[in-house]
Amino acid sequence: MVQTQNCREIYTNLALDHSMEAPRDLKQIQNFKYNEKKRERPHQQKASNNADDIQTLMSMQHGHPFIKEIVQHSGKPLHHLQCFLDDIPGAQISGKSLVFGSDEEKALTKAIQKCFPDSQQILCTRHIEESFKRHLREVIGEKDPNYNTVLNEVFGVDGLLSSPDDVEFDLKVMELEAKYEYSVPAFQRYFSSSTSSLKNYVWEPPQKDIAPINWKNNSCESMNNILKLSTNWKAPGPYRQTTQNCSITISRYTTSITWPGELCVGSLG
């Protein structure tokens, strides 16, 4: 009856029956129908309203000495990152005496190189090791005896990253490339393409006392988890991901919510 009749018809019928369960007034029927509709569409409750989360993050940002600017963007395009880095105060000094630590995100590392050509970059050892593990699992599998052998030869105590000087490092690279060509040929190409990053951004910084040996960005990862816990962040389901694919045009700028929690602001011309 609630679904097929309007509020006034329902109220009139129940009032005429002198039912003990009859509503007090028309407003009570309207509230009941409204709540029924909300229960039928639970996914629309609090949809696309991240104001409380953003306020919490902003409060933490201004009150915590570790957290600085929080930038949200869609994807990781080079031009977005480069545009943001160019606007950082002090970018005009070409990044002298600056050290940037990050994961091995190609767009991010290229943007840093373009905006701060004289700065020093370091990469998280843990993330690079995880990338090696993932690639090895794909090409040979985790149960293959070469899986642990390769990891020890690169990241172990006497591995490639423990080389005492650059000559020893280059010699080990040549030895391992020749070895992997026969023992794990499917992995050899990936290893060869990774040696430049390993040397320049993982092995070299500790040799120059720029960063601690095997630097890891665990502090940033921990803070990321703290932010998620403080806002009770949950990965949204497919419905919310779909409904958040929208664009809002304001004056000369367009703000696109292209993925849950990611904001991209760009000029229209």
Instruction: State the angle between helix axes of 26-40 and 7-16 in degrees (0 to 180), rounded to the nearest 10.
Output: 130
Tell me what pLDDT residue 21 has.
Answer: 64
Render 84-99 in DSSP notation, one character per residue: HHHTSTTGGGTTTT-E
Tell me what pLDDT residue 59 has.
Answer: 66
Answer whether 232's CB lies under 8 Å from 23's CB: no
Residue that the structure tokens 């940002």 belong to? 61
Q: Which helix (H) or strand (E) holds 258?
A: strand 253-259
Q: pLDDT tens for residues 131-142?
A: 999 999 999 988
pLDDT confidence bin for 148, thresholds 50/70/90: very high
Q: Which helix (H) or strand (E) holds 113?
A: helix 106-115
In this predicted structure, the answer to whether residue 267 has a pLDDT above a threshold of 50 is no
What is the distance between the alpha carbons of residues 40 and 156, in angstroms, rounded to a whole number?
57
What is the distance between the alpha carbons of residues 177 and 188, in angstroms, rounded to a whole number?
6
Collapsing DSSP states into helix, strand and coil, what is residue 19? coil
Q: How far is CA 58 from CA 158, 227, 228, in A?
A: 45, 11, 13
Tell me what pLDDT residue 61 has.
Answer: 60
Answer whether 14's CB lies under 8 Å from 23's CB: yes
Q: What is the mean pLDDT of residues 103-132?
A: 81
Q: pLDDT tens for residues 187-242?
A: 999 999 999 989 988 888 888 887 766 777 765 666 666 666 666 766 655 545 44
Tell me what pLDDT residue 253 has.
Answer: 39
Which residue type, as a one-letter code, is found at position 171?
L
Q: pLDDT tens for residues 160-198?
A: 999 999 999 999 999 999 999 999 999 999 999 999 989
Tell me what pLDDT residue 264 has.
Answer: 37
Answer whether 60's CB lies under 8 Å from 67's CB: yes
In this predicted structure, the answer to whether residue 247 has a pLDDT above a threshold of 50 is no
Residue that the structure tokens 């919310």 belong to? 240
Tell me what pLDDT residue 68 has.
Answer: 54
- More confident: 48 or 9: 9
Single pTM value for the model: 0.52
pLDDT confidence bin for 70, thresholds 50/70/90: low
Q: What is the 3-state secondary structure (H, E, C) of 131-195?
A: HHHHHHHHHCCCCCHHHHHHHHHHHCCCCHHHCCCHHHHHHHHHHHHHHHHHHCHHHHHHHHHHH
